[in-house]
């Protein structure tokens, strides 16, 4: 565990960072699967009892919106006080490198945009265990949370960060669908 002598922040070792990330991925995946299962059950076709397959539901636009919302949770996982569930369990927090203040919700969303290219993130963190690609692009750092480093939520910034996360996810999904149509056409 490293410590910055100037700021007094302690940096978590790679194993703790990976454990927190694993908690995030597992918890968000379970949440995503549960919502998709419940949603699928609710939109099951009522017209034909022999064919109740949720993925054949007529309202695919609503289903697509739900998928975009659920995927955006990965971008928005750290917007509350610079902490996700995994970071809370391991007492970690995202801060701005320049000031040592808690990263804003919008900075946390942009930090997580690089998760879309997660194989590159994995390579980057193996080469530089103290920070992710997203940290370097946005100017943030993951540290052990200090008791006095607590911020009251700015609801406007939280709302804006969630909207930005949804828009980024929608754009990525739209590009993916366009590529799928081009490849299969």
Of 174 and 47, the structure prediction assigns the larger pLDDT to 174
Domain ranges of the chain: 2-184
> Which residues pair with residue 2 across a beta bridge?
11
User: Residue 119: exposed, middle, or buried by beta-carbon count in 10 A (0-12, 13-18, 19+)?
Assistant: exposed
Separation in Å, CA 28 to CA 22, 34, 57, 66, 127: 10, 10, 24, 14, 26
pLDDT tens digits, 135-158: 999 999 999 998 766 667 788 888
Q: Is the pLDDT of residue 82 over 90?
A: yes
> What is the pTM (predicted TM-score) of this model?
0.79
45, 138 Cβ separation under 8 angstroms:
no
């Amino acid at each position: 565990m490293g410590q910055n002598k100037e700021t007094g922040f302690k940096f978590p070792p790679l194993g703790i960072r990976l454990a927190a990330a694993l908690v995030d991925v597992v918890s968000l995946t379970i949440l995503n699967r549960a919502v998709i299962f419940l949603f699928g059950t609710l939109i099951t076709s009522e017209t034909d009892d022999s064919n109740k397959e949720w993925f054949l539901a007529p309202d695919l636009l609503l289903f697509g919106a739900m998928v975009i919302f659920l995927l955006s949770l990965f971008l928005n996982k750290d917007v509350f006080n610079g902490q996700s569930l995994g970071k809370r369990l391991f007492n970690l927090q995202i801060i701005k490198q320049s000031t040592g203040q808690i990263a804003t919700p919008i900075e946390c969303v942009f930090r997580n945009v690089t998760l879309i290219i997660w194989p590159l993130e994995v390579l980057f963190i193996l080469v530089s265990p103290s920070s992710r690609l997203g940290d370097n692009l946005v100017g943030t750092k993951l540290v052990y949370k200090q008791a006095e480093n607590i911020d009251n939520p700015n609801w406007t910034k939280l709302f804006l960060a969630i909207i930005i996360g949804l828009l980024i996810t929608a754009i990525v999904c739209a590009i993916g669908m366009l590529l799928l149509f081009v490849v299969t056409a």
